[in-house]
């Protein structure tokens, strides 16, 4: 089983989720955190089935993912 790091973003109208370390753009969405995770899992499977296992070949692999915050003067 291949494990993915998933980013989940919360918006006023729902959640958006996307995987890291996968070639191409894959996005899931839902009204809840759990629904967004289920949707992105389905989207990942569809992406692999559509484009082949080559989309899993990301070099170098992502070892860790961080969320950081910074300010920018305007």
Rounded Cα distance between 24 and 20, Å, is: 10
Domain ranges of the chain: 5-56
Q: Supply the pTM of this predicted model.
A: 0.85
- As a whole number of angstroms, the distance between CA 8 and CA 4 comes to 12
pLDDT for res 34: 98
Of 14, 10, 7, 2, which Cα lies nearest the Cα of 57?
A: 2
φ/ψ of residue 33, rounded to 5: -55, -45
Rounded distance between C-alpha atoms, residue 70 and residue 28, angstroms: 26
What tens digit of pLDDT does each residue of 13-70 get?
A: 999 999 999 999 999 999 999 999 999 999 999 999 999 999 998 888 888 889 899 9
Kindly tell me if the per-residue pLDDT of 1 is higher than 90. Answer: no
Instruction: Report pLDDT for 30.
Output: 98
């Amino acid at each position: 089983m291949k494990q993915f790091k998933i980013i989940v973003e919360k918006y006023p109208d729902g959640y958006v989720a996307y995987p890291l370390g996968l070639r191409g753009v894959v996005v899931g969405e839902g009204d809840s955190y759990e629904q967004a995770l289920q949707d992105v899992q389905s989207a990942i499977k569809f992406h692999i089935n559509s484009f082949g296992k080559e989309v899993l070949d990301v070099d170098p692999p992502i070892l860790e993912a961080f969320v950081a915050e910074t300010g920018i003067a305007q």
